Amino acid sequence: MDLEALGTCKAFAGLTEDELDSIVAVADRLEVPEGGEIFAEGSEGESLYVILGGAVELRRSGQVVAELGPGDFFGEMSLFNRYIRVAGAVATAEARLLGFRRQRLQPLILRHQPAAVKVVQRLGAMTVERLQRVGESLSAHVADEDPALAGALDEYRQLKQRLVAGWALAYHSIGKPGKLEIASTKPSATAADLSVAYSPGVAEPSLAIRDDVDAAYTYTGKGQLVGVVSNGTAVLGLGSIGAAAAKPVMEGKAVLFKRFADIDAFDLEIDETDPGRFVDIVVALAPTFGGINLEDIRAPECFDIEAECQRRLDIPVMHDDQHGTAIIAGAALRNALELVGKDIGEVRVAFAGAGAAGFATAKFLLVLGVAREHLVLSDADGVVYAGRGDCNYLEELAADTGARTLADAVDGADVFIGVSAGGVLRPAMLRSMAPDPIVFALANPTPEIDPALARETRPDVVMATGRSDHPNQVNNVLAFPYIFRGALDVRTREINREMKLAACEAIAALAREPVTAEAGYDGVGLAFGRRYLIPKPFDRRLLPAVAGAVAEAALRSGVARVGLHLGEYREGLRRLAHL
């Protein structure tokens, strides 16, 4: 009976009878009378519960926050870390429960027991999805001018951060640690297979490559392989944490390459902060790869490192922190300007943040048509103005302006782009902006201004952030997998301006298309407008749209080394995207 009831719980669905037996063997069976307390709000969590029969309410501060029945589960975050229950649980009808204590499940997880690993992975994924749905719902209500929910939203985000932190550690450690493994693409079951995969047969492709280095694209995985390379000097919002600590992030980048563009990627964490030696190492490793994605390298070193790698290598090299952000922000800006009826050559743009992402985005906006005299950068020292004496890369974009503070720069501006720190854009600054202000507050995890506060301050604002729980997420994953897909498929020597512009325009154009079933996710209610400026990351149409445009731009601009039929290529990309 327990097995049948347990199988109705989504976290346990699909397990074999033997797997369910192994899980039930470590469970506690509980019968709770109507009105009985299962655990109290504020108590320390130690068990996950699955309801076999009856009904349970979760209550917070006396208010019912969830009504649960057979097949539902609750208390799952106790499996990932020690935390204080944020709600109490009470049986509203006599309840039969299975309780799974952390200390009894953890030994199974550490031994990689298949059923335990599967269950915990599912529970974590389902919990994060549930947290995201609640966050999106609260954000939508706040955006719909229900300011009373703003406090609840802030409290919820703090709770979510704590819960996700625990799951993130469990996610990376359960089962096989990390996120990557190597899989063979050729048979290797017999001695005959291995005699070709390795000695003596492997000598033949080696000799072919000796005679023609480009044969590596035919006989090895080089043409489908990207190196994700970092020295850990500017990792996410964590700063300079070192090469080893950067590995989870670089592994994650490799996962995104595979998930969205079917590109294999190796993460390479290089323990070297000297730019010249770092470049020498990357160049020495380059024969392994069809392309190099530089990642999380601090400014200003990142500019010289990218330029020197590009100069010395004949494969595509891109520092994604610079160009990925620039391309997505550019696509979002194009569409935002169309919505508010402003010309890109006339708008005034103020930046907060002049590091790798800010500087590269500013330069890209000039390529898109923003007038040089209408663009002002600022950093922690104020406005980057001509004569400030920076004596570095900032001199290139130093403005001839009397503005000295961010408030000065924002006053009367049409566009604010923040790639700096949370809270730097004050409501008074936003009020000083031109009608229909466009605000891209991209700092993570705390934007330069909270979207709810921004809309309360200026109901006419067009808003984007770097967060997934708000509309219009400016996320590099919309660009880099597809740029490299197109670049690899035509074997480009570089990723040039034309290819970046093509990616930007393809992303912007896709957001103007109706969100159909082809997108591959529930896009009900999404339509081009202030809350939908750029596609969602899981839009399957991005692969053929962006990679196809990038490959075409490479062919037209003369940096491709192999030709292809663009129509057939796009059809192949559609099949790859399961369209």
Contact 463, 453 (CB under 8 A): no
Name the 3-class secondary structure at 430: helix
Q: Which two tokens stand for residue 388?
A: 């400030």
Close Cβ partners of 208 (under 8 Å, ≥ 6 residues apart) = 215, 218, 219
253 included as an active-site residue: yes
Angle at 522 between CA 321 and CA 447, to 5 degrees: 35
Contact 44, 84 (CB under 8 A): yes
Nearest CA-CA partner of 497 in 352, 283, 310: 310
- CB neighbourhood size of 426 (10 A): 16
198 included as an active-site residue: yes
Q: How do strand 88-101 and strand 63-68 relate by DSSP bridges? A: unpaired
Q: Which two tokens stand for residue 236?
A: 């996410």
| Partner residues linked to 37 by β-bridges | 90
Alpha carbon 146 to its chain's center: 29
Contact 337, 369 (CB under 8 A): no
Catalytic residue among 10, 176, 198, 521: 198
Residue 340's Cβ-side half-sphere holds a number of Cα atoms within 13 Å equal to 25
Alpha carbon 37 to its chain's center: 40
DSSP label at residue 572: H
Separation in Å, CA 196 to CA 174, 207, 221, 265, 473:
35, 14, 16, 24, 48
Spatial distance between the Cα atoms of 537 and 539, rounded to a whole number of angstroms: 6
Spatial distance between the Cα atoms of 267 and 276, rounded to a whole number of angstroms: 20
Spatial distance between the Cα atoms of 232 and 29, rounded to a whole number of angstroms: 48
Spatial distance between the Cα atoms of 480 and 261, rounded to a whole number of angstroms: 9
Residue 62 phi, psi (nearest 5) = 85, -5
Spatial distance between the Cα atoms of 430 and 47, rounded to a whole number of angstroms: 47
Separation in Å, CA 148 to CA 131, 155, 338:
20, 12, 33
Name the 3-class secondary structure at 157: helix
Catalytic residue among 247, 253, 500, 536: 253
| Amino acid in position 569 | Y
Angle at 466 between CA 463 and CA 472, to 5 degrees: 45
Close Cβ partners of 339 (under 8 Å, ≥ 6 residues apart) = 462, 529, 530, 533
Name the 3-class secondary structure at 183: coil
Spatial distance between the Cα atoms of 363 and 342, rounded to a whole number of angstroms: 20
Map tokens 């504020």 to a residue.
Answer: 42
Active site residues: 198, 253
